[in-house]
Structure 1
Amino acid sequence: METVVDATIPTDQFVLEETIERVPDVEFEFVRFAINDSACPVPFLWGSTSQPDRLDAALQNDSSTERVSCLSWDDGRGLYSIDWTERAACLIDGFDETGGSVLDVRGTSDRWMVQILFPDRSTASEAFQAWCDDGINPSLSRVSNLSCRSDNMRGLSATQHSTIAEAFQRNYYNVPRGTTLAELATDLEVSHQALSERLRRGHSHLVERMLSESTPAVERRP
């Protein structure tokens, strides 16, 4: 049965520790669904801060990064393209190679927060042990079954839920992916654009629900 794990990781056990120390008000958000079959793990990252120039400099000089480009900046929030160092890439890959699919990764001044969807609790338990063996000691803040709760859709419509479940079972969220968006669209008998929009809305609902459960007074961006 599908299991969603919410966990937190100390900043000194993951990437961008130096940047977070230098820019204490920064908040990071990995752009998970921009990944295709690139060899570079999670190449895009949102960074929010009141000190954009300081953030740019900190990212450029962080020991986790090899190359950093700011693609856009608006209203205190910038989109960055990052080439990670080998060590940082291994840390990030560690979450992609756990048998689950990473739904969300966010960083603040004192911790990283991750949400991962696993096919079952046994796989989630094995992943937790693997993290500990690799020197990462996450604290589990929430472990829940996706389909055995009164609110089991987590804000999703039945169509969104079934589509995401099918994509997950077909390893669409793996890196590299086990199937393409075009192949999924053909099998589900919908257009490429319709499937893309359905997944995007479903992902947005999942992240919004997670944030509303873990962070008070979170407002959705327009």
Structure 2
Amino acid sequence: METVVDATIPDNRFVLAETIERVPDVEFEFVRFAIHSSSRTSPFLWGSADRPDRLDAALRSDPSTEHVSRLSERDGRGLYSITWNARAARLIDGVAEIEGSVLDVRRTTDRWALRFLFPDRATASETFQAWRDEGVDATLSRISTLSCREDTALGLSATQHNTIAKAFRTDYYSVPRGTTLEELARDFDVSHQALSERLRRGHSRLVERMLSESAPPVERRQ
């Protein structure tokens, strides 16, 4: 049964450790579909700090980066394109190349927080044991199983969950998309309109659940 795993990695066991040391208030969030593999796509991440200029300089001088470009800024966060050095690329690939899906990778407070979707608990256990064998000090903070009942742990019906999971696995949400809405509709033997409405209802439930479980961001003083 599909399993969601929340884990943490200490700052000094992943990438950008020197940047984090130089800019302690920094927050990072990998763009979800850039984390699949550093060798297949250029990694992008959002970064925010009280001193953006200081963050830019720290990223460019960080030993784990070879090239850094600030692409844009939105809501006080900068979008960065980063070329990693060989060691950092291996670490990112170690996170990305799992028998499952990377749902989220972000850094807040004093560690990196990661969320994964595995096909079952056994696969999750094997993955984290392999990481420990390689010296990656990942700590499991939460393990939850997605139920196939009509009301899942994420507030989705079984049909909504299966549809969103299929869309994710076939890169429907990536840019550019790996599949189209029409192709997904054919896979589920429903109309284009019916699948679109199913996805919208599922997305609405996920957003509602996320907002109910998270505090609003603290606004920075200008």
Point out where structure 2 has 5 or more consecutive residues left out of the alignment.
172-176
Q: In structure 2, what is the Cα distance between the partners aligned to 1:8 and 1:146?
A: 21
Q: Percent identity?
A: 61
Find the counterpart in structure 2 of residue 39 from structure 1: 39
Point out where structure 1 has 5 or more consecutive residues left out of the alignment.
174-178
Q: In structure 1, what is the Cα distance between the partners aligned to 2:154 and 2:212?
A: 11
Matches within 5 A, 1:1-222: 1-33=1-33, 39-40=39-40, 43-147=43-147, 152-156=152-156, 160-167=160-167, 171-172=169-170, 180-182=178-180, 183-184=183-184, 186-188=186-188, 198=199, 202=203, 205=206, 209=210, 213=213, 217-219=215-217
SS of the equivalent of 2:25 reads: coil
CA RMSD after TM alignment: 3.5
Q: Is the 8 A contact 2:148 2:158 kept in 1?
A: no
Deviation digits for residues 159-213 of structure 1, max 9, x if unmatched?
A: 5422122235xx436xxxxx92234355345659x76x948x739937963x865
Greater Cα offset, 37-46 or 66-75? 37-46
Aligned length: 209
Q: In structure 2, what is the Cα distance between the partners aligned to 1:147 and 1:114?
A: 21
SS of the equivalent of 2:94 reads: helix
Larger radius of gyration, structure 1 or 2? 2
SS of the equivalent of 2:122 reads: helix
Deviation digits for residues 32-82 of structure 1, max 9, x if unmatched?
A: 135789734561100111110000001111111111111111332111111
Aligned letter for 1:16?
Answer: L
Q: In structure 2, what is the Cα distance between the partners aligned to 1:207 and 1:48?
A: 25
Report the TM-score when normalising by structure 2.
0.78
Q: Is the 8 A contact 2:37 2:92 kept in 1?
A: no
Greater Cα offset, 31-40 or 66-75? 31-40
